[in-house]
Structure 1
Amino acid sequence: MTTEAPRHPLPPFTKETAIEKVRLAEDGWNGCDPAKVALAYTPDSKWRNRAEFPEGRAEIEEFLTRKWDKELDYRLIKELWVYDGNRIAVRYAYEYHDDSGNWFRAYGNENWEFDENGYMDRRFASINEHPIAAADRKFHWPLGRRPDGHPSLGDLGL
């Protein structure tokens, strides 16, 4: 538990507040600001992200800094899968290119658990990615927040 100001919306989640929490997370990650994103997690948050297991905000910030230093022009869509009480499961896809201009699309699922103040305490991610041609990209909005009305993962056939 953190003693910081509540981070709304708070659990227990309704469908509407779970969707809002997912969108807020997506917006944060699309901002690609590791220090700001890390503040959404409890000070001792535990992650599983592929073969890495960051714990706490400092390690999360270091992880995200490395990630976005190599995953360039990063664009992400998250979609609510299911929610219950203080837990949310999402599916997502993101696109990026490396420093050689090779494009990739990653797909995954995340399981989230929140403390009573709305900070994410646990994040378990499963991710697969594959190379794509630049012409096969589906996420073309300007860097930053995905525009309202942009197609969802389902709309894009993902």
Structure 2
Amino acid sequence: MAGSELRRMSLEEALPHQLRRAGQAWSALWHQRVPELTSPQFAVLVVLFHHAELDQSALGSLASVDRSTLTVLVDRLEADGLLTKTADPANRRRRLIALTSRGRDRLERAAEEALLLHGELGDLFGEPDLQRLIALLRRLGDVLPAVARTPD
């Protein structure tokens, strides 16, 4: 990068910097409201709430959690009694993951806090801006996996 371009670069206008800052702010807010679950754990529980049971591949895809992270996350949630892993009767090598009643209870409490947090952010930004932010982040999240798979 040429020196003149570097001098014009501002962290305040740099997308990676602002995404990182926003991620840190969200993590801190989330941890204050829902200290017993991380955002990815919450996503996994929400997906399982909407599906009776899923194999790990489908769960990871629907929750947008990569395979290596999901393995550790599922093991932790299972150890906490929030979900179960059972062998698929049709394919014993395949594990089916389901929400337990304890997991449903934890999710319901966390969802209440998540809705309160959403409301606070709606008050801060205004609901239309918050919905626009969510839509833009969804678009970014949907585009990036496709870009990452595209060879140069």
Normalised by the size of structure 2, how large is the TM-score?
Answer: 0.26
From the CA coordinates, give the structure whose radius of gyration is larger: 2
Q: Could you say which structure has the higher helix fraction?
A: 2
Normalised by the size of structure 1, how large is the TM-score?
Answer: 0.25
Q: Could you say which structure has the higher strand fraction?
A: 1
